[in-house]
Amino acid sequence: MTVTIELVKEASAGAMTVAGVTAEAFEDHPHHALLSESGFAAKVGETQMVPGDTGVELVVGLGPDAERDADSFRTAGGAIARAAKKQQSVAVHDVLETGGEIAPSVVGQALAEGLVLGGYRYTALKSDPEDSSLASIEVVGKGGKRVQSAFDVGRSIAEAVCIARDLVNEPGGTLTPPALAKKTEKLGAALGFEVTVLGPKEIKAAKMGGLLGVNRGSDIPPRFLELSWKPEGSSRGVVALVGKGVTFDSGGLSLKPSDGMLAMKGDMGGAAAVIGAFCALDAVQPRVEVRGYLPLTDNMTGGDATRLGDVLTISNGKTVEVHNTDAEGRLILADALSKATADEPDAIVDVATLTGACMVALGDNHAGIMGTSDGLLEQVQEASAAVGEKTWPLPLPQEWRSNLDSEIADMKNIGGRYGGASIAGLFLKEFVGEGIPWVHIDIAGPAFVSKETSTTTKDGTGFGVRTLVQLLKSYKRPR
């Protein structure tokens, strides 16, 4: 169900009242005693029904003034969408005016994102889906056109996140590389970006030995997608986005244990984040040209699967000895980074569910970031902080490169036991053109969650879409 989010001066009759309450205002709230008794403390995103002037009213906590940031509004929006899913229309009061120093457009965008994200469910495979019936959200307040257009942008971005979630949540048996390519073509036609699909013949002609090597154990052919979007006005340069698109990662002959394999339908979370970001570009209109490079395959164990010890030749000519077929993401990204490099962009950002080691290092809700340009790293960090997606820097020391030395090829695809996320990063770096600022975002942790929050359901989160969109919006050519 898509909702409308509208700024109004006065709520229409029949809409259930939702009232924001800050920690400060809670002290004087008419239902203070009742609310306190139920455990409500006006924390961000807490909700509770209370008796109102015209039937029940939903109260949503906004926390103390000093702690409120953009993400508080996203969380509150998500909580409202959850708590009001049985309503048809709601009118949200006393929220917009609590932004303090935060710009009204930032407040409006974050609130709208939360309202859409909180209503998300993956229902495609339920015979009797429990859909939210919430169709109309009025937000009562001032701000005029600027706030309304912030709502519209927030909605477009959140819908793009939901597209990425649907892709991550779809099982690997149906979201195969050809199916994902088809879906992306449809999205491109509907939302205004170009999609070029390379099949096995073109992939062979391009000598993408990493992608072909990983695909070798599969009965399903690979795809390589090239996405492109250009701004209507002036452009500050060309940013290339690369996303890991392993539609199912069994580990290949280095087979994963059963428990670790279930989540691997989501091993295309990086590709989903890039596709999602493209879906929002027309609405956001960043002042950069954007290109996308998505290698798509599953990683299976068929009779002619890549064997340990096999040597693959990546499209830039470098050779890789495969010591572990479960380190497949870097093999397909090698081809994609080589292709992105050949097209000479001003910057490259890749997003990938690349290593369990990144989760060991940072926990499961931070993405690891590393790269070759402090300026671009800073921009990625700032973008992610602004949109409430958590990232944290990891080192990329060249002296660890010897971990990847091979006796018979230019490198092998795994290193030692320690620093696995960085070793993977050093592998990728081999395929990024000298002098092109590059950042790698390892989203193995935050691409999926095991517990729902007010803005995400269990499983696919669409992590990365918001950071990428914000990065493009604020992008400056790094020094």
Give me the residues that bind ligand BES (CB under 6 A), please. Answer: 249, 263, 267, 324, 326-329, 353-357, 414, 420, 444
Please report whether residue 442 would count as binding Mn ion according to CB under 5 A. no
Site map 270..309 versus Mn ion, x via CB under 5 A = ----------------------------------------
Minimum gap (Å) between residue 35 Cβ and Mn ion:
49
Q: Give the interface size with Mn ion as a residue count (CB under 5 A).
A: 3
Query: CB-wise, 91 or 294, nearer to Mn ion?
Result: 294
291 φ, ψ (degrees, to nearest 5): -120, 145
Residue nearest to ligand BES (CB): 356
Residue nearest to Mn ion (CB): 326
Site map 290..319 versus Zn ion, x via CB under 5 A = ------------------------------
Query: CB-wise, 76 or 426, nearer to ligand BES?
Result: 426
Distance CA(42)–CA(20), nearest Å, equals: 9
Identify the bridge partners of residue 50 per DSSP, sorted by sequence position. Answer: 57
3-state helix, strand, coil in the chain (%, to 5): 40, 20, 40
What are the DSSP calls for 60-109, one per residue? EE---GGG--HHHHHHHHHHHHHHTTT-SEEEEESSGGG-TTS-HHHHHH
Query: CB-wise, 113 or 328, nearer to ligand BES?
Result: 328
473, 284 contact by CB (below 8 A):
yes
Picked from Zn ion, ligand BES, Mn ion, none, the partner binding residue 335 (CB below 5 to 8 A depending on kind) is none
Q: Among residue numbers 238 through 277, which ones bind Zn ion (CB under 5 A)?
A: 246, 249, 267
Picked from ligand BES, Mn ion, Zn ion, none, the partner binding residue 437 (CB below 5 to 8 A depending on kind) is none
3-state secondary structure of 23: helix
Catalytic residue from among 68, 330, 339, 473: 330
Instruction: Label each residue of 419-460 as H, E or C.
Output: CHHHHHHHHHHCCCCCCCCEEEEECCCCCEECCCCCCCCCEE
Minimum gap (Å) between residue 251 Cβ and Mn ion:
5
R_g of the chain computed on alpha carbons = 23
58, 84 contact by CB (below 8 A):
yes
Minimum gap (Å) between residue 418 Cβ and Mn ion:
19
Residue type, 86: K
Catalytic residue from among 85, 230, 256, 429: 256
CA 434 distance to own-chain centroid: 27
Minimum gap (Å) between residue 320 Cβ and Zn ion:
16
Minimum gap (Å) between residue 357 Cβ and Mn ion:
12
Strands 223-229 and 194-198: antiparallel
Query: CB-wise, 214 or 279, nearer to Zn ion?
Result: 214
- Write the burial class of residue 76 (CB in 10 Å: 0-12 exposed, 13-18 middle, 19+ buried): buried
Question: Of 138, 326, 350, 430, which one interacts with Mn ion (CB under 5 A)?
Answer: 326
55, 13 contact by CB (below 8 A):
no
Is 9 among the residues known to form the active site?
A: no
Q: Give the interface size with Zn ion as a residue count (CB under 5 A).
A: 4
Minimum gap (Å) between residue 7 Cβ and ligand BES:
40
- Write the burial class of residue 411 (CB in 10 Å: 0-12 exposed, 13-18 middle, 19+ buried): buried
- Measured in residues, the chain has a length of 479
> Tokens 């926990």 — which residue?
363
Distance CA(298)–CA(175), nearest Å, equals: 10
Picked from Mn ion, ligand BES, Zn ion, none, the partner binding residue 384 (CB below 5 to 8 A depending on kind) is none
Query: CB-wise, 138 or 328, nearer to Mn ion?
Result: 328
Minimum gap (Å) between residue 244 Cβ and Zn ion:
7
Distance CA(332)–CA(227), nearest Å, equals: 17
Please report whether residue 249 would count as binding Mn ion according to CB under 5 A. yes
Is 330 among the residues known to form the active site?
A: yes
Residue nearest to Zn ion (CB): 249
Which residues form the interface with Mn ion (CB under 5 A)?
249, 326, 328
Which residues form the interface with Zn ion (CB under 5 A)?
246, 249, 267, 329
Catalytic residues: 256, 330
